[in-house]
């Protein structure tokens, strides 16, 4: 019997940040314990692994967990292969991606605990030596807030920060600065699902507000980014992207996004086109080749190796968003990171709009060496991840 042999897998329903039920898993080994919970998205890609009801996922996940008893938790690939075998589908639609990812992440956590190492070290070994740049969501609309911007997220990235800690506090200062700018303009704003301000203003004004907040509040170079979430703006009947009373066909959308990038000197633009349009993604990426902008695919790739390979072959995007629950396992997330990195693409570890206080993605980001992490700016479920990376960085400095 080894310290990392799995003795028990248990699941339960817990609340996410929207007050919905999600799945939490506990994994006990001979000498270790791990816990993790699954997030959920509001803006979801068509090709993601399938989330089922939390109640059903708990029941079916515990049945699948029985097959893991006696397995070595330190052998993550074997654990995740067993989960896939127990599910028997291509998309985890039987046991649910929410159950699968919770079990998979909790297993990794239990192995690290049994071995007496931090999770990022267990996953990345001695080469886990750097922390990512945090993308902070400061203004939001789209599927994350009613009566707000059409573009889903207006982001900031403190590219001039010397440490992750400095970057996190810069993002927080800009978030507060956005509220000050809105107040000065007489604009009231609540908050969306991810804690970003959700004012009833149009996209151009939102960009102005964020740029002004950066000028006021950021003490280091800080660039602006966007998550367009274009699949949510696409209207099949109109054959166009719909922004309020304005429609743009595909070429107009490419032109529009390019103009936003160049006029705003944007560092990052996520899902600027709908999830199946690899060709338009490739055209935009080529047109922005003379910039340092990351054209990132989320719904385009959904953390799926085959879709990433297809995109690479066409030159679509130059970075990949990594969401473990989109693929259902830690191994799947790692393979997506490796595939992207081997192709020269940047990687961005990401939360979801419906989150929990689980901080596993902080360790995955450091362990897998993603260049950026996207996990909001404020809110307990968001700061849990940010604070964990701060702790990891401090440990690295010792």
Domains in the chain, CATH or no CATH each:
6-116 (3.30.390.10), 125-397 (3.20.20.120)
So what's the pLDDT on residue 146? 82
Segment 220-262, tens digit of pLDDT: 999 999 999 999 999 999 999 999 889 999 999 999 999 999 9
Distance, CA of 210 to CA of 177 (rounded, Å): 8
**Assigned token pair, 87:** 């599910």
Catalytic residue among 24, 194, 232, 355: 194
- Helix-then-strand count for the chain, H and E: 13, 16
pLDDT at 43 over 70: no
365 annotated ligand-binding residue: no
382 annotated ligand-binding residue: no
274 annotated ligand-binding residue: no
Active site residue 323: yes
User: Measured between alpha carbons, how far is residue 187 from residues 144, 215, 392 in Å?
Assistant: 19, 19, 38
For residue 190, the cross-strand partners are 198
Catalytic residue among 258, 323, 385, 388: 323
State in Å, rounded, how far the first CA of the chain is from the last one. 34
- pTM to 2 decimals? 0.96
323 annotated ligand-binding residue: yes
In the sheet where 6-15 sits, what is the strand order?
6-15, 21-29, 33-37
351 annotated ligand-binding residue: yes
Position 188 confidence tier, pLDDT thresholds 50, 70, 90: very high
**Assigned token pair, 11:** 């699941």
User: Measured between alpha carbons, how far is residue 134 from residues 206, 351, 383, 390 in Å?
Assistant: 20, 12, 11, 11
So what's the pLDDT on residue 328? 97
374 annotated ligand-binding residue: yes
Distance, CA of 75 to CA of 55 (rounded, Å): 28
Distance, CA of 243 to CA of 300 (rounded, Å): 20
Segment 253-300, tens digit of pLDDT: 999 999 999 999 999 999 999 999 999 999 999 999 999 999 999 999
Where do the H-state alpha helices sit in 243-351? 250-264, 278-287, 305-314, 324-327, 330-342
Distance, CA of 194 to CA of 232 (rounded, Å): 17
Contacts of 100 by beta carbon, 8 Å cutoff, 6+ apart: 49, 61, 64, 83, 87, 92, 328, 329
User: Nearest to residue 236, comparing CAs of 245, 254, 227, 249?
Assistant: 249
pLDDT at 1 over 80: no
pLDDT at 129 over 80: yes
Q: Tally the residues of the chain.
A: 398
146 annotated ligand-binding residue: no
């Amino acid at each position: 019997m080894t310290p990392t042999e799995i003795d028990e897998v248990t699941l339960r329903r817990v609340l996410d940040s929207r007050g919905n039920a999600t799945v939490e898993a506990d994994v006990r080994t001979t000498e270790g314990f791990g816990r993790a919970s699954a997030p959920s998205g509001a803006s979801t890609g068509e090709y993601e692994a399938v989330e089922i009801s939390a109640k059903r996922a708990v029941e079916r996940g515990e049945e699948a967990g029985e097959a893991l008893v006696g397995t070595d938790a330190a052998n993550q690939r074997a654990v995740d292969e067993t989960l896939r075998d127990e599910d028997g589908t291509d998309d985890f639609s039987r046991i649910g991606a929410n159950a699968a990812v919770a079990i998979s992440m909790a297993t990794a956590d239990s192995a690290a605990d049994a071995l007496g190492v931090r999770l990022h070290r267990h996953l990345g070994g001695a080469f886990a030596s750097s922390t990512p740049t945090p993308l902070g969501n400061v203004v939001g609309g789209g599927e994350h807030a009613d009566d707000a911007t059409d573009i889903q997220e207006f982001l900031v990235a403190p590219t001039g920060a010397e440490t992750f800690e400095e970057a996190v506090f810069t993002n927080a200062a800009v978030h507060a600065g956005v509220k000050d700018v809105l107040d000065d303009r007489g604009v009231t704003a609540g908050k969306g699902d991810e804690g970003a301000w959700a004012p009833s203003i149009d996209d151009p004004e939102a960009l102005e507000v964020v740029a002004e907040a950066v000028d006021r509040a950021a003490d280091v170079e800080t660039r602006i980014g966007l998550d367009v979430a274009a699949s949510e703006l696409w209207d099949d009947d109109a054959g166009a992207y719909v922004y309020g009373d304005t429609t743009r066909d595909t070429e107009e959308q490419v032109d529009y996004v390019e103009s936003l990038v160049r006029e705003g000197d944007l560092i990052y633009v996520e899902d600027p086109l709908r999830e199946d349009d690899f060709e338009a993604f490739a055209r935009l990426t080529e047109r922005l080749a003379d910039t340092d902008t990351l054209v990132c695919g989320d719904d385009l790739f959904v953390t799926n190796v085959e879709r990433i390979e297809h995109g690479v072959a066409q030159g679509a995007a130059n970075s990949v968003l990594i969401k473990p629950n989109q693929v259902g396992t830690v191994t799947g997330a790692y393979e997506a990171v490796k595939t992207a990195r081997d192709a020269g693409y940047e990687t961005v570890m990401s939360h979801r709009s419906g989150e929990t206080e689980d901080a596993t993605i902080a360790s995955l980001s450091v362990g897998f060496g993603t260049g950026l992490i996207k996990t909001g700016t404020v809110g307990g479920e968001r700061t849990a991840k940010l604070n964990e990376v701060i702790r990891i960085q401090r440990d690295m400095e010792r």
